[in-house]
Chains A and B, each alone.
Chain A
Amino acid sequence: MLLQLNNIFKWVNSGGQRVFLLKDINLNVEEGEFISVMGPSGSGKSTLLNVIGMLDGFDEGEYHFLDESVHSLKEKHRANLYKEYIGFVFQSYHLLDELTVKENLEMPLLYKKFKGSERKAMVADMLDRFNIVGKKDLFPAQLSGGQQQLVGIARALISNPKLILADEPTGNLNSAQGEEIMELFKALNEEGVTIIQVTHSEKNAAYGSRIINLLDGRMV
């Protein structure tokens, strides 16, 4: 078991009323799964992803990640946990514009205290694996959207996370590029990486091994 959500509730108070963002979410994720989260806008997909990624808290319920009780962990421990095990992929890639491809890939390693030689090896390895060695000295603005997302995924993978969280990873890409990225996810999943993606597209959702449908913060 990679992670387990038990009766997760999340709400905000607006105008004296409690508005539920997540309502009684129960979810077990095994290692090696590829889950697609679907649902209309505002149904709580991204919120769920943020909760799983420990970027966002919740108001009620229990969250276990690799035998750790996330709900009772201190902020610092939580940060260490997601630093070590989780990689994020975004719809708009979120690469740093001022850094080259190589430097963007290296950035997370800097925050994980890897040695210089190690970092170099890991970055080279990743560049190889994603076939972007020729682009290593380019800046994000010089790449196509698909290539940028490739770098984004490479960056998420670089420190060998157990779980990749992807929030509409193909949302900004054309269909051909989107397909390429989804094939990549599939290949990664087959290598053993657990993936949870949020998507609007039935076609992309079909890549996953399991589909979770959300409506108004509730799993349906």
Chain B
Amino acid sequence: MFKLYLKIAVRYLLKNKLYSFINVFGLAIGVMSFIMIMCYVSMEWSYDKFEESHLVHRVFMDYIEGDQFVPGDANSYQLSGATLTEKFPEIESYVRFRRFDEQNFVVDRQVYDDQIISMVDPTYFDIFNQKLVLGNESTALVEPFSIVISEVLANTVFGRENPIGKKVELAFDGQFLPLTVTGVIDFSNRRTHIPTDCLISLSSYFNLPYFERERQNVWTQNEFYTYLKVRKGTDLADLNAKVMAFKPGEDIHEFERHHLEPLESIHLNSNKPYEAQANGSASSVKMLALIALITMLLSWINYANLTTSKSMERAKEIGVRKVVGAGRHQLVGQFLFESFVLNTAAILLGIVLILLVLPTFSSFVGYDFSLNGKTLRQLLPYLLIVLFGTSLVSFLPSFAISKYKPTSVLKGKLANSGSGLFLRRTLLTGQFIATICLLSGTFIAFKQIDYLKNRPLGTNLNQVLAIKGQAINRSKDSLFHRDFNVVLEELKKKNYVADITVASTYPGEDYGNANSNVGIQYVDGTVDEKHIWYNYAVWPNYFDLMEMDFVAGGPFHQTSQKKSKNIVVNETMAKLMGVHNPQNLIGKTTVFWGENWQIVGVLKDYSHFGIKSLAKPIIVRHNNISQNILIKLNEQVINLAGIDNALQDIESVWRDVFPMSTFNYKFVDSQFEATYADEQRLAKVFPIFTLLSILIASLGLFGLTSYTLIQRTKEIGIRKVNGASIAQILQLLNQNFVKWVGLAFIIAVPISWFAMDRWLQGFAYRTNLSWWVFALAGVMTLLIALLTVSWQSFKAATTNPIESLRDE
């Protein structure tokens, strides 16, 4: 029997090539979109999830901003963990991270640069539930100057040798710090908001003279990421309330308090200053998951629509089968089998499509989705959902088809169930709603990104190159400064260098190298201990090179020591100081860090921490620093000579002076763009899946049109015989679709308005929800619908009526 079914199914599908293709293709696109988006989404959801991860919480600091506490800093104090653990019995243990980016190791004169190191407590393995590949978890991070390296690093440095007991040297503060490898760890199975390449025992921190001053600032300098593990059954809201009310010591300021947040939610929900890395965004992920669901639903609706409508044409076959004795369950069986063949083909095609686009998709969203056992395991649950849903929708048409009465279908009358038609129309309207929502969403996402990109930054980042090199065996003494200046002088002579300066940080570098402070005495003598402000240090021509504008005063004047107690503030800082006319600030003195500082200029507000956030109060100091070299490139020369040649040249200048060193460069404009990478990724992914959804919806519409047209063949014939023209028939057939699109539009606009309004709330600067965006989405949907429908209704309208009005 099955062999017969298979034969019939395959023959039928091959005979109706267009139908089969549309159906298989539509489903396959749905399967592909759903699985791929869910792959990405589940990746984003999987951060910091491990056994008992729900018991782990991060301690962060709330600062007072005006009258209320706001999340102020992802870091906490050296003693935060220990003090809280001692005070609250609910807390089982704690681990601290003192984390450093861009560190360099030396093994056998070979430099391994750009490593992230974290100095952690030995409790790390227990709290983060990590096992060592080699070494002993209970002892590995106890002794000072012990290091646990990642498996990847172990393989590159030591190859197949057993690294345990081997020495590596960390270039630190101009010296080589010998460390003993006590363990090898595999980080590859973990996604975390605080990635690291190796772990160093925190006892090293307490034994290094470099940190001597910092070690004494137990309650004033917060440099640690602290994580707590609470006991099972702890009431977290209660604990959090107690932690927030708790004053750990005399020294801690009144303007701050400790606060806990679940480890699992950090990656998607936390966006505080000084995060370990730029986190994901829960709203974007939700939006994508929604798109995935919509796409999948659309393709299922489609499948049901298409199959049912196509089966109308088979009414006669079913009648014949029934007359010759096929039972209802046999018919259902046959149609189910056909569904099975079709769906299997669709899912297989979907998987082939996934394999085809996966590499592109990976590079598109900036994640590595290489197909391995792990990815497959990740795919599996979604594949099962797809299978389950698809088999569910297969039942629907099969039952509808098998219900036809043989006597009426054989007479050429089709089973015309009003409720079924209503359902299909509802589903179709649903598809239009989804289409309009997705289209308007895409337009708004684009509009927002465009708005952000075109908003004046208050600074010009084009053709600005940031050079960050580290001389490994040199401490930052006067000799170093002299050599550093040699590099600058050499570079100044190059024709591709338009200008050159030095800054401790710059727009686009995020919070990393900007200091946050609380506590300042303003020019009028008032002391503010309630607002966070940021500061960094630059050379005097920084403002000129970055094309920043002054509303009052001007840049620093160069002094013989190349530093001074002069500062430049931005407008927001000036407002914080309560001064309305910035001119009044020039020459005035403020006090912070126990020293007097004279204001020489007020900067027009510019975007420092990315375009998503509002301008923050900033103080720029004048100092003879030697951190980032900022080069304004001469565009014309660069266009001629090529950027790669210039970069090589710059590196050789640097290496001539500092032979044992690292050399990194970044284009400031693209680094700045990375601060809204998440939104850009969304803006890239959104239209693709919107397009796919529209394609699927069009296929569904195609199916419903053919269904309707079969129903109305006779009517069309009669009308034509009675004098209706083709245009009049087209109008008759299409006006319903216009009605449904109209209805969908009315429903879709508030939904989309609400959703996009929520999304825009995440931006400090946002574009407005213009009416034309929705109008455009509606008109486009209408056009797409009419095009899809007209293709078939034109065919129907031009059919000779004698075909449809034959009386035999």
Q: Which residues of A contact B (CB under 8 A)?
A: 50, 55-56, 79, 83, 88, 90-92, 94-96, 98, 107-108, 111-112, 155, 159, 167-168, 171
Contact = CB atoms under 8 A, between A and B. Distances in A.
Interface in B720-767: 721-725, 728
A111 B722 CA distance: 8
B722 A108 contact: yes
A94 B717 CA distance: 9
B722 A155 contact: yes
B323 interface: no
A-B pairs with the 8 shortest C-beta distances? A111-B723, A108-B722, A83-B723, A91-B807, A111-B724, A94-B718, A55-B802, A50-B802
A96 B718 CA distance: 8
B725 A111 contact: yes
Contacts, number: 42
Contacts of B807: 90-92, 167-168, 171
Given A111-B723, A111-B725, A96 B715 contact: yes
Nearest to A98: B715
Nearest to A97: B715
A107 B722 contact: yes
Given A94-B717, A111-B723, 20 more contacts: A50-B802, A55-B721, A55-B801, A55-B802, A56-B802, A79-B723, A83-B723, A94-B805, A96-B719, A98-B715, A108-B722, A108-B723, A111-B719, A111-B724, A111-B725, A112-B723, A155-B722, A159-B723, A167-B807, A168-B807
11 contacts: A55-B802, A79-B725, A83-B723, A88-B721, A90-B807, A91-B807, A94-B718, A94-B805, A96-B718, A98-B715, A107-B719
A204 to B, nearest CB: 16
B contact residues, range: 10 to 19
Nearest to B715: A96
**Secondary structure class of chain A's binding surface, majority of residues:** loop
B269 interface: no
A96 B723 CA distance: 14
B655 interface: no
B715 A55 contact: no
Contacts of B728: 111
B714 interface: yes
Contacts of A91: 807
Given A88-B721, A111-B725, A155-B722, A94 B802 contact: no
Interface in B673-725: 714-715, 717-719, 721-725
Nearest to B728: A111
B498 to A, nearest CB: 71
Contacts of A155: 722
Contacts of B723: 79, 83, 108, 111-112, 159
B412 to A, nearest CB: 10
B384 to A, nearest CB: 45
B162 interface: no
Contacts of A88: 721-722
Contacts of B805: 90, 94
Nearest to B718: A94
A34 B88 CA distance: 109
Contacts of B724: 111
B800 interface: yes
